[in-house]
Amino acid sequence: MSRWKEERRRDFYYKEAKKLGYRARSAFKLIEIQQRFGIIKRGDRIIDLGASPGGWSQVALEYSNGKVIGIDILPVKKLNGLIFIKGDATSEDTKEKVKEELGDEKVDVVLSDLSPNLSGNRYLDQARSFWLCMKALEYVDDFLREGGRFVCKGFEGSDLDEFLKEVRKRFKIVRKFSPRASKKRSREVYIIAIGKRSS
Protein backbone atom coordinates (compact mmCIF):
# COMPACT_ATOMS: atom_id res chain seq x y z
CA MET A 1 0.00 0.00 0.00
CA SER A 2 1.34 3.46 -0.88
CA ARG A 3 2.29 5.75 1.96
CA TRP A 4 -0.48 8.11 0.87
CA LYS A 5 -3.15 5.38 1.01
CA GLU A 6 -1.81 4.15 4.33
CA GLU A 7 -2.00 7.63 5.81
CA ARG A 8 -5.53 8.10 4.52
CA ARG A 9 -6.57 4.79 6.10
CA ARG A 10 -5.00 5.70 9.43
CA ASP A 11 -6.69 9.05 9.24
CA PHE A 12 -10.01 7.25 8.66
CA TYR A 13 -9.68 5.25 11.90
CA TYR A 14 -8.51 8.32 13.77
CA LYS A 15 -11.59 10.28 12.61
CA GLU A 16 -13.93 7.39 13.34
CA ALA A 17 -12.51 7.09 16.86
CA LYS A 18 -13.09 10.80 17.44
CA LYS A 19 -16.60 10.66 16.00
CA LEU A 20 -17.63 7.66 18.12
CA GLY A 21 -15.93 8.89 21.28
CA TYR A 22 -13.22 6.22 21.50
CA ARG A 23 -10.00 7.27 23.16
CA ALA A 24 -7.78 5.42 20.71
CA ARG A 25 -7.92 4.09 17.16
CA SER A 26 -6.93 0.74 18.62
CA ALA A 27 -10.53 0.38 19.85
CA PHE A 28 -11.39 -0.75 16.30
CA LYS A 29 -8.94 -3.65 16.52
CA LEU A 30 -10.82 -5.08 19.49
CA ILE A 31 -14.15 -4.41 17.76
CA GLU A 32 -12.93 -6.41 14.73
CA ILE A 33 -11.73 -9.20 17.03
CA GLN A 34 -15.09 -9.18 18.78
CA GLN A 35 -17.04 -9.27 15.52
CA ARG A 36 -14.99 -12.19 14.23
CA PHE A 37 -14.57 -14.28 17.39
CA GLY A 38 -17.21 -13.12 19.90
CA ILE A 39 -14.59 -13.01 22.63
CA ILE A 40 -16.62 -10.90 25.07
CA LYS A 41 -20.02 -11.98 26.41
CA ARG A 42 -22.58 -10.05 28.41
CA GLY A 43 -21.67 -9.93 32.12
CA ASP A 44 -18.04 -11.03 31.57
CA ARG A 45 -15.33 -10.09 34.06
CA ILE A 46 -12.31 -8.85 32.15
CA ILE A 47 -8.67 -7.92 32.76
CA ASP A 48 -7.29 -5.41 30.23
CA LEU A 49 -3.46 -5.27 30.27
CA GLY A 50 -1.89 -2.16 28.73
CA ALA A 51 -5.14 -0.23 29.05
CA SER A 52 -4.04 3.39 28.50
CA PRO A 53 -5.54 5.59 27.08
CA GLY A 54 -8.62 3.38 27.46
CA GLY A 55 -9.90 2.42 23.99
CA TRP A 56 -10.03 -1.33 24.64
CA SER A 57 -11.49 -0.78 28.10
CA GLN A 58 -14.30 1.28 26.56
CA VAL A 59 -15.07 -1.51 24.09
CA ALA A 60 -14.78 -4.18 26.81
CA LEU A 61 -17.25 -2.26 29.01
CA GLU A 62 -19.66 -1.78 26.12
CA TYR A 63 -19.80 -5.46 25.21
CA SER A 64 -19.69 -6.93 28.72
CA ASN A 65 -21.28 -4.34 30.97
CA GLY A 66 -19.43 -6.31 33.65
CA LYS A 67 -16.38 -5.86 35.83
CA VAL A 68 -13.41 -4.56 33.83
CA ILE A 69 -10.00 -4.15 35.47
CA GLY A 70 -7.53 -2.07 33.44
CA ILE A 71 -3.80 -2.00 34.15
CA ASP A 72 -1.14 0.34 32.75
CA ILE A 73 1.97 2.23 33.81
CA LEU A 74 0.42 5.26 32.16
CA PRO A 75 -2.75 6.87 33.47
CA VAL A 76 -6.26 6.35 32.12
CA LYS A 77 -8.65 9.30 32.45
CA LYS A 78 -11.72 8.45 34.48
CA LEU A 79 -13.88 5.95 32.65
CA ASN A 80 -17.23 4.97 34.19
CA GLY A 81 -17.23 1.37 35.30
CA LEU A 82 -13.49 0.80 34.86
CA ILE A 83 -11.46 -0.35 37.86
CA PHE A 84 -8.04 1.04 37.00
CA ILE A 85 -4.78 -0.10 38.56
CA LYS A 86 -1.81 2.11 37.73
CA GLY A 87 1.31 -0.01 37.75
CA ASP A 88 3.70 -2.28 35.94
CA ALA A 89 1.71 -5.31 34.77
CA THR A 90 4.85 -7.46 35.05
CA SER A 91 5.37 -6.78 38.77
CA GLU A 92 4.17 -9.01 41.60
CA ASP A 93 2.94 -5.90 43.35
CA THR A 94 0.42 -5.19 40.58
CA LYS A 95 -0.72 -8.82 40.54
CA GLU A 96 -1.31 -8.57 44.28
CA LYS A 97 -3.60 -5.58 43.67
CA VAL A 98 -5.55 -7.58 41.09
CA LYS A 99 -5.85 -10.40 43.62
CA GLU A 100 -7.20 -7.96 46.22
CA GLU A 101 -9.74 -6.68 43.69
CA LEU A 102 -10.95 -10.15 42.66
CA GLY A 103 -10.79 -12.06 45.93
CA ASP A 104 -11.68 -15.66 45.05
CA GLU A 105 -13.35 -14.68 41.77
CA LYS A 106 -11.85 -15.59 38.42
CA VAL A 107 -12.26 -13.59 35.22
CA ASP A 108 -13.79 -14.74 31.92
CA VAL A 109 -11.42 -12.85 29.60
CA VAL A 110 -7.82 -11.62 29.71
CA LEU A 111 -6.94 -8.99 27.10
CA SER A 112 -3.39 -7.82 26.48
CA ASP A 113 -2.51 -4.96 24.15
CA LEU A 114 0.79 -4.51 26.04
CA SER A 115 3.46 -2.99 23.78
CA PRO A 116 7.09 -2.30 24.53
CA ASN A 117 8.44 1.11 23.59
CA LEU A 118 9.43 0.28 20.04
CA SER A 119 13.15 0.80 19.36
CA GLY A 120 12.97 0.15 15.62
CA ASN A 121 15.33 -2.81 16.07
CA ARG A 122 13.16 -5.71 14.92
CA TYR A 123 14.87 -8.36 17.05
CA LEU A 124 14.93 -6.31 20.21
CA ASP A 125 11.28 -5.30 19.79
CA GLN A 126 10.27 -8.92 19.16
CA ALA A 127 12.15 -10.09 22.26
CA ARG A 128 10.55 -7.43 24.45
CA SER A 129 7.12 -8.17 23.07
CA PHE A 130 7.63 -11.92 23.66
CA TRP A 131 8.52 -11.21 27.27
CA LEU A 132 5.34 -9.11 27.73
CA CYS A 133 3.29 -11.89 26.11
CA MET A 134 4.72 -14.43 28.58
CA LYS A 135 3.88 -12.05 31.43
CA ALA A 136 0.32 -11.76 30.11
CA LEU A 137 0.13 -15.57 30.22
CA GLU A 138 0.81 -15.40 33.96
CA TYR A 139 -2.52 -13.53 34.29
CA VAL A 140 -4.13 -16.37 32.35
CA ASP A 141 -2.62 -18.91 34.75
CA ASP A 142 -3.50 -16.97 37.89
CA PHE A 143 -6.83 -15.32 37.15
CA LEU A 144 -8.62 -16.81 34.12
CA ARG A 145 -11.34 -19.37 34.73
CA GLU A 146 -11.48 -22.71 32.97
CA GLY A 147 -13.19 -22.24 29.57
CA GLY A 148 -12.11 -18.56 29.52
CA ARG A 149 -10.76 -16.54 26.58
CA PHE A 150 -7.50 -14.66 25.92
CA VAL A 151 -6.45 -12.02 23.37
CA CYS A 152 -2.80 -11.02 23.17
CA LYS A 153 -0.82 -8.72 20.93
CA GLY A 154 2.46 -10.12 19.62
CA PHE A 155 4.89 -9.48 16.79
CA GLU A 156 5.56 -11.82 13.87
CA GLY A 157 8.94 -13.51 14.26
CA SER A 158 10.56 -16.65 15.58
CA ASP A 159 9.58 -15.97 19.21
CA LEU A 160 5.93 -15.96 18.25
CA ASP A 161 6.00 -19.72 17.55
CA GLU A 162 7.43 -20.30 20.99
CA PHE A 163 4.63 -18.21 22.50
CA LEU A 164 1.97 -19.99 20.41
CA LYS A 165 3.22 -23.31 21.80
CA GLU A 166 2.65 -22.05 25.32
CA VAL A 167 -0.81 -20.74 24.43
CA ARG A 168 -1.81 -24.05 22.78
CA LYS A 169 -0.88 -25.92 25.96
CA ARG A 170 -3.46 -23.85 27.79
CA PHE A 171 -6.31 -23.39 25.27
CA LYS A 172 -8.39 -25.60 23.00
CA ILE A 173 -8.68 -23.15 20.08
CA VAL A 174 -5.86 -20.77 19.08
CA ARG A 175 -5.85 -18.41 16.08
CA LYS A 176 -3.68 -15.59 14.71
CA PHE A 177 -5.51 -12.50 13.51
CA SER A 178 -4.40 -9.26 11.83
CA PRO A 179 -7.08 -6.58 12.14
CA ARG A 180 -7.56 -4.14 9.27
CA ALA A 181 -7.14 -1.32 11.78
CA SER A 182 -3.49 -2.36 12.36
CA LYS A 183 -0.93 -0.36 10.42
CA LYS A 184 -0.20 -2.18 7.16
CA ARG A 185 3.56 -2.23 7.58
CA SER A 186 3.36 -3.30 11.21
CA ARG A 187 4.32 -6.85 12.18
CA GLU A 188 1.81 -6.86 14.99
CA VAL A 189 -0.56 -9.77 15.18
CA TYR A 190 -3.20 -10.78 17.72
CA ILE A 191 -3.37 -14.24 19.24
CA ILE A 192 -6.95 -15.27 19.96
CA ALA A 193 -7.33 -18.17 22.38
CA ILE A 194 -10.65 -19.74 23.34
CA GLY A 195 -11.54 -22.41 25.90
CA LYS A 196 -8.93 -22.50 28.65
CA ARG A 197 -8.12 -26.10 29.52
CA SER A 198 -8.42 -27.35 33.07
CA SER A 199 -5.06 -27.23 34.82
Ligand X SMILES: C[S@@+](CC[C@H](N)C(=O)[O-])C[C@H]1O[C@@H](n2cnc3c(N)ncnc32)[C@H](O)[C@@H]1O
Nearer to ligand X, 2 or 21 (CB): 21
What is the smallest separation between the CB atom of 172 and ligand X, expressed in angstroms?
26
Q: Which of 153, 165, 184, 196 is catalytic?
A: 153
Q: What order of strands is seen across the sheet that includes strand 46-49?
A: 82-86, 68-72, 46-49, 107-112, 144-155, 188-196, 171-177
- C-alpha span between 77 and 63 (Å, rounded): 20
Q: Catalytic site residue 165? A: no
- C-alpha span between 117 and 54 (Å, rounded): 18
CA distances from 156 to 42, 86, 110, 131, 163 (A): 32, 29, 21, 14, 11
What is the smallest separation between the CB atom of 146 and ligand X, expressed in angstroms?
26
Nearer to ligand X, 113 or 125 (CB): 113
* Rg over CA atoms, the chain: 16
Residue pair 77/53 in contact by the 8 Å Cβ criterion: yes
What is the smallest separation between the CB atom of 42 and ligand X, expressed in angstroms?
21
Nearer to ligand X, 27 or 61 (CB): 27
What is the smallest separation between the CB atom of 63 and ligand X, expressed in angstroms?
14
Residue pair 130/163 in contact by the 8 Å Cβ criterion: yes
Interaction site with ligand X (CB under 6 A): 23-24, 26-27, 50-56, 71-74, 88-90, 113-115
Nearer to ligand X, 181 or 193 (CB): 181
Active site residues: 153
